[in-house]
Amino acid sequence: MFVIVGLGNPGSKYARQRHNIGYVVADTIAARYGLSAPRRRFQGRALSGEIDGERVLLLKPETFMNESGRAVRSALNFHKLRARDAIVIHDELDLAPGKVLIRKGGGHAGHNGLRSLHSQIGPDYRRIRVGIGHPGDKHRVHRHVLGDFAAAERPLFAKLAEAIAESLPLALAGDDPGFMTRVALLCPRPKPPKPQPTQGAGNAG
């Protein structure tokens, strides 16, 4: 059995924020695999069912991001599971928008949700890191993370959530490279715009 966790903050005012991409992906997973109706359990919203023959509990903590670890610890303890049985989906500043990586362990890199998880269950859970891009200036990070997705970004992240959901059985089977390859094929990252030539370039001399 796996506990799949989508990190985010509860409430409509947070729903479109980049920090809530974990919630977005969790909702997409629930819809794709026909999981149970959500119930208030483990200090969050919990859904259950099977994905590709694997029993799963899908959890959206409602403790707010900074206390996410309490909800996850409660779910793991109830089901007598360990950190390695959890897969946590979260936003990642240090990845370009649309890039997805999965890994086990590592640091929290200042992410408050991961910081809480580290303190409550340790670092040995797996995490699906969903790139939201860096604003380029550390003073703009807070506003970027807690800002709503721009209208132009929304189709990309909706498609990315679908790709993660479709590829999830590979992650549950332990095929992390296969999972990442499948996501990249289903949702290729947009190419950066080509630099425009400087007006009048080539006329000097």
- How do residues 117-168 score in pLDDT, each as one tens digit? 999 999 999 999 999 999 888 889 889 999 999 999 999 999 999 999 999 9
Of 123, 131, 3, residue with least CA distance to 60: 3
**Residue listed under structure tokens 């721009």:** 150
Among candidate residues 4, 134, 14, 144, the one with its CA nearest the CA of residue 79: 4
Q: Which residue(s) pair with 50 in the sheet?
A: 55
The end-to-end CA distance of the chain, in Å, is 71
Three-class DSSP category at 3: strand
Confidence (pTM):
0.90
Answer yes or no: are the C-beta atoms of 114 and 92 closer than 8 Å: no
Q: How does DSSP classify residue 99?
A: -
The string of pLDDT tens digits covering residues 163-202 is 999 999 999 999 999 999 999 999 998 776 666 665 554 4
Kindly report, residue by residue over 64-115, the tens digit of the pLDDT. 999 999 999 999 999 999 999 999 999 999 999 999 999 998 888 889 999 9
Catalytic (active-site) positions: 19
What is the pLDDT at residue 189?
A: 81
Read off the pLDDT of residues 27-52 as tens digits, 9 standing for 90 and up: 999 999 999 999 999 999 999 999 99
DSSP SS3 for 107: coil
Query: What is the arrangement of strands in the sheet containing 126-131, beginning at the earlier edge strand?
Result: 39-41, 44-51, 54-61, 2-6, 86-92, 126-131, 100-104
SS3 for 67? helix
CATH 3.40.1640.10, applies to 2-186: no
**What integer pLDDT is reported at residue 194 of this predicted model?**
66
Q: Where are the domains of the chain?
A: 2-186
